[in-house]
């Protein structure tokens, strides 16, 4: 089962400003369905649209995104695990290439 993750806060911002999805769609020149899918986090707007929404409401763009707290998570960051695996693979390839040369 795929769990939808809330990435944007567009619906929350619309509620804060008492602004409708329909009016936002008209302003952005997109369909009502598009804005509705953004508000339900089914699809995400591109950064230009995020910028336009933030500028329209005169808010920081970051208010339109859910905050993250990855810095507080335990364990290694995924990029570190990837690099460690890559280093192991390169070393194994080098070792294998040395055996072939002999």
Residues 12 and 37: their CA atoms lie apart, in Å, by: 14
- pLDDT value of position 102: 61
- pLDDT value of position 2: 56
- pLDDT value of position 71: 75
Mean pLDDT over 43-60 rounds to 97
pLDDT above 60 for 1: no
The architecture in CATH of the region 10-66 reads Orthogonal Bundle (1.10)
Residues 8 and 43: their CA atoms lie apart, in Å, by: 10
- pLDDT value of position 15: 97
CB proximity list for 41: less than 8 A, separation 6 or greater: 4, 5, 6, 7, 8
- pLDDT value of position 34: 98
Express each pLDDT in 64-93 by its tens digit: 999 887 777 777 788 888 999 999 998 888
């Amino acid at each position: 089962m795929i769990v939808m993750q809330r990435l944007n806060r567009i619906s929350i911002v619309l509620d804060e400003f008492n602004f409708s999805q329909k009016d936002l769609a008209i302003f952005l020149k997109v369909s009502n369905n598009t804005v509705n899918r953004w508000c339900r986090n089914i699809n995400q707007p591109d950064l230009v649209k995020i910028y336009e929404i933030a500028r329209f409401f005169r808010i920081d763009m970051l208010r339109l995104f859910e905050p993250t707290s990855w810095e507080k998570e335990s364990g290694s960051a995924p990029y570190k695990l990837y690099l460690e695996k890559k280093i192991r693979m390169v070393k194994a390839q080098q070792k294998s290439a040395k055996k072939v040369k002999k």
